[in-house]
Structure 1
Amino acid sequence: MPYDPDPLDPLVRTLRSGDQSPTALVDTLCDRLDAVDGDVRAVLPEAGRRPRLTREAAALVDRHDTPATRPSLFGVPVGVKDIFHVDGYATAAGSAVPTTAITGPESTAVRRLRDAGALHFGKTHTTEFAYFAPPPTRNPNALGHTPGGSSSGSAAAVAAGLCPLALGTQTVGSVIRPAAFCGVVGFKPSYGRIPTDGVVPFSPTVDHVGTFTADVAGARRAAAILCDGWEPTDPDERPVLGVVDGPYLEQATDAGKAGVEAGAEALQSAGYDVRRVSMLDDIDDINDRHDRLTAAELALSHAERYAAYGDRFAEETTALIEEGQDVGIEAVVDARVATREFRERVGDRISEAGVDLLLSPSAPGPAPEGIDDTGDPVMNLPWTHGGVPALTVPCGRVGDLPLGLQCVAPFGTDESLLAWGDDIADAVADVGDVTED
């Protein structure tokens, strides 16, 4: 891997203690941005970024001159996917639509991070309106490959060491997949745990705000700030793990399957109880239902904007909106109800199988070659459909391309998922090239 991103949690400790100053960190990251983002293209250009960040960092130090009173994310620069509204910045959402037609108050997620002492490093590239029309961002591990979508820039920015924390969103697979492709930690919470107000909507029934970090402990620290009703937990026992089997797993490539098998073997070697869980025999129906729901809600979310500026929408987005316009309201209502029913079904199956977490590939395989295709989110779709929490940690690789292990928990158990995630990530950290003989 050509880049070595800084884990968020130890970085925060040095910032809060005063061992590292926010102004020095800003200077380091701006130097790095100048050096590598011409290739990676993760962050949107901003005139005067360095002096602006230097001023904000200095002001933050003045406000919190005593280490003991410094907030949880003191001095942490954060990349923000360009579908979040940030006060003082236009939101383009990866689109040619005028930014004056994409305005709104600052998102609650951004405000919570700022209130916790974080600095807005800059907007990160996204696919158009968080669908499939790709931005110019490249995978830091292999510049000829996609970083994934739609949170392309946020995943690549963390992987390239441009910022230690970034915000993304997931409506199908747009946090977990790009995190896996780029070799970082991605966290998608339970539906509704992080408010989505101030974010350009795609499909409100299944839109989630998520995070990218280089470490699970960092994801946990950010979640404690971002999630409603966060209650820290430190489980006494290791979780029982279940590898999802059946038609769902068959959607993965041989490399994707090999990655999760290698992860399962590493976890067994580390002393975990790893079982097989057969489920999702109706995955084709779940996929179809989710696709209809998201198409219909995209059409509803952008109805006025599309009527006024439809000729400026990308071909991929236009096709989905027009498909969504043909979905009947009864089908939309049924799909919305089905998401809640499926959420309960996942929890019931986890309980029946006697496991605590489900394991599966974070993507069908490694990042595809080229940047015109952001990859298939099918491995993430059911967990997004049910709104259950998901975490991806790096687990093996194919050549230079990382693979991810996706860990899924019952709805509302985000705290346990992230508490367990640290040790799981450590156990699979040394999984090597899964294509080796």
Structure 2
Amino acid sequence: MKLNFTSKLFLSEELKKLKNNSTDLQTDIEKVIIKIENSEPKIHALKWEENRLNRLLNDIEKIDKQSELYGVIVGVKDIFRVDGFKTKAGSKLPPELFDGKEASSVTKLKNAGALILGKTVTTEFAYFEPGITRNPVNINHTPGGSSSGSAAAVVAGFCHVALGTQTIGSISRPASFCGIIGFKPSYDRIATDGVIPFSPSADHVGFFTQDIEGIELIAKVLCDNWNNKLSNKNLPILGIPEGKYLNQADKIVLENFEKNIEKLQNNGFTIKRITTFENIEKINQTHKLMVSAEISEVHKDWFKKYENLYRFHTKQIIKDGQKVKKSEIESAIKGQLELRTKLQELMLKNGIDLWINPSTITEAPYGIESTGSPLMNLPWTYCGLPTISIPSEISKNKLPLGLHFTGFYNEDEKLLNYIKKIISV
């Protein structure tokens, strides 16, 4: 039985071909639709749409060939509002509840010449209840979550880029499990309007591609005040957050991580091991309190009326959130800035440019009942620093593993510049 449904599709390469007329957009779209027809019945990355091809061919007529992202095909996680599409957020609730103005992130991409492939499958309200999406690297395994369909659609070659969100690890984890790149900018660098909230204090908009140049092209359009001049010619000095945090990862992950560290050192990178996150259990718990309280508030009216339509884990976190005290929420939100400050002070004190750690604590779990653990991503998301997950090794079980990097707040441009140097080795 065929298990692998991946397909190479580099955004930057395809955009160049479109710009220099070495490929035709209609032909590209028809090829994508053939891929979808062949692979989607096994992967289930996309929300079903009748006459997708005809709509896309009509949309071509509306875009300017000189536009920045002419013909770039975009998948959109089904918690973003997109004109012409229903938003269901992976739930059984009436979609009319989520009607409203289109997400500005989607509008920006459209205005830059991108085409919307359609909605991608999400876990229920971007939490832990999985959808039906399978990992195109090996369909016996989860693609991760909650941006399951977005990651799967990118690695399957259905689209050049897909939008996702991250409140704990919903971009970094699927990127790692699917062997692609997942970028979560600094908190609030991409506006979250038009996105069904999970926890407004921790929600980030981010995206997936197969190539780092593609990440940069999309970041220029989506991230406010992007500055191409923020770069560095030197190799970044990397810091490993040693201790309890790192030890959350399993043996397979840690062994592969150390192989990558050795490879980087052999290629001239300076690595420093810094004990940090000694209170990781408290950070994990504080984050959980905050997000549960905030999702409870977001769903307050819907939950009263439609509680029976919510699935178990979502129902549980909302009920847990109802018990959180106001003082605990205030303390958790205050703790975000405190942790960000502490981590950046450690970076400055030790002379490091980026933190480096495994993207996940395990490889992609077997089956689709669980989307895996987000613990490796949690503290970085909690404090809002910019992060990126890139493919590193293939495990003995022939599953992708990722490397996760974190930079200084609002220095996302430097982070991407450094990652280009790291990927080159």
Whether contact under 8 Å (1:22, 1:76) holds in the other structure is no
Q: Structure 2: 5+ residue runs without aligned partners?
A: none
Does structure 1 residue 223 correspond to structure 2 residue 253?
A: no
Does 1:183 find its partner at 2:186? Answer: no
Alignment match, 2:123: 127
After TM superposition, give the deviation of residue 423 of structure 1 in Å. 2.1
One of 223, 243, 248 as aligned partner of 1:251: 248
Q: Which residue of 2 aligns with 1:31?
A: 34
Structure 1 residue runs of 4 or more that deviate by more than 3 Å after TM superposition: none
Q: TM-score, normalised by structure 2?
A: 0.97
Distance 1:59 1:329 in 2: 49
1:156 to 143, 152, 159: 152
Q: Distance in 1 between matches of 2:373 and 2:192?
A: 24
Partner of 1:100: 96
Measure the CA separation in 1 of the matches of 2:309 and 2:423: 43
Give the alignment partner of residue 291 of structure 1, picking from 288, 291, 307.
Answer: 288
Q: How far, CA to CA, are the matches of 1:260 and 1:251 in structure 2?
A: 13
Conserved in 1, the CA contact under 8 Å of 2:5 and 2:39?
no
For residues 313-357 of structure 1, the C-alpha deviation after alignment (integer angstroms, 9 at most, x for no partner) is: 111100000000000111111111111111111111111111100
1:15 aligns with 2:11: no
Superposition map of 1:16-165 within 5 A = 16-60=19-63, 63-64=64-65, 70-165=66-161
Deviations 1:139-194 (A, max 9, x none): 11111110000000000100111111000000000000000000000000000000
Mapping of residues 383-422 of structure 1, within 5 Å: 383-398=380-395, 399-422=397-420
The one-letter code matched in structure 1 to 2:413 is E
Per-residue CA deviations over 1:276-295 (Å, capped at 9, x if unaligned) read 12111010000000000000
What do the CA deviations read for 1:227-279 (whole angstroms, capped 9, x no partner)? 01110133111111112211100100111112221221111122111121211
Instruction: Report the AA paired with residue 170 of structure 1.
Output: Q
Q: CA deviation at 1:309?
A: 1.1
Q: Which amino acid aligns with 2:168?
A: V
Alignment partners' CA distance in 1, 2:62 and 2:244: 55
Paired residue total: 420
User: How big is the shift at 1:426?
Assistant: 2.9
Amino acid at match of 1:243: I
1:184 touches 1:394 (CA, 8 Å); kept in 2? yes
Distance in 1 between the 2:128 and 2:348 partners?
A: 35
Which SS does the other structure have where 1:155 is aligned?
A: helix
Query: Is this contact kept in 2: 1:243–1:264, CA < 8 A?
Result: no
Instruction: Give the alignment's Cα RMSD to 1 decimal.
Output: 1.0
Match of 2:237 among 237, 240, 258: 240
2:165–2:206: 8 Å Cα contact kept in structure 1?
Answer: yes
Q: Contact conserved, 1:6 with 1:161, CA < 8 A, in 2?
A: yes
How many angstroms apart in 1 are the aligned matches of 2:256 and 2:19? 37
Distance 2:165 2:398 in 1: 26
Residue 59 of structure 1 aligns to a residue whose secondary structure is: coil
Alpha-carbon distance in 1 for matches of 2:307, 2:130: 18
Instruction: Judge conservation of contact 2:122–2:149 (CA < 8 Å) in 1.
Output: yes
1:200 is aligned to 2:196: yes
- How far does the alpha carbon of each residue in 1:355-378 deviate from its partner, in whole angstroms, 9 at most, with x for none? 100100100021001101000000
Q: In 2, distance between residues paired with 1:9 and 1:189?
A: 20
Q: Which amino acid aligns with 1:248?
A: Y
The 1-side partners of 2:68 and 2:257 are apart by: 34
* Partner Cα distance (2:213, 2:102) in 1: 27
Contact 1:130-1:150 within 8 A present in 2 as well: yes
Q: Please say which of residues 20-29 and 166-175 is displaced more in the overlay.
A: 20-29
Q: Which residue of 2 aligns with 1:430?
A: none
Percentage of identical aligned residues: 40
Aligned-partner Cα distance in 2 for 1:354–1:234: 17
Equivalent positions of 1:230-379 (< 5 A) are: 230-232=226-228, 233-379=230-376
Once residues 273 and 7 of structure 1 are traced to their aligned partners in structure 2, the CA distance between those partners, rounded to angstroms, is 30
Letter in 1 for 2:13: P
Give 3-state SS (helix, strand or coil) of 2:61's partner.
helix
CA displacement, residues 191-230 of structure 1 (integer Å, 9 cap, x when unaligned)? 0000000000000000000110001111111111100111
Q: What residue identity is the alignment partner of 2:121? A: H
Contact map agreement 1:151 1:178 (CA 8 A) in 2: yes
Distance 1:282 1:75 in 2: 47
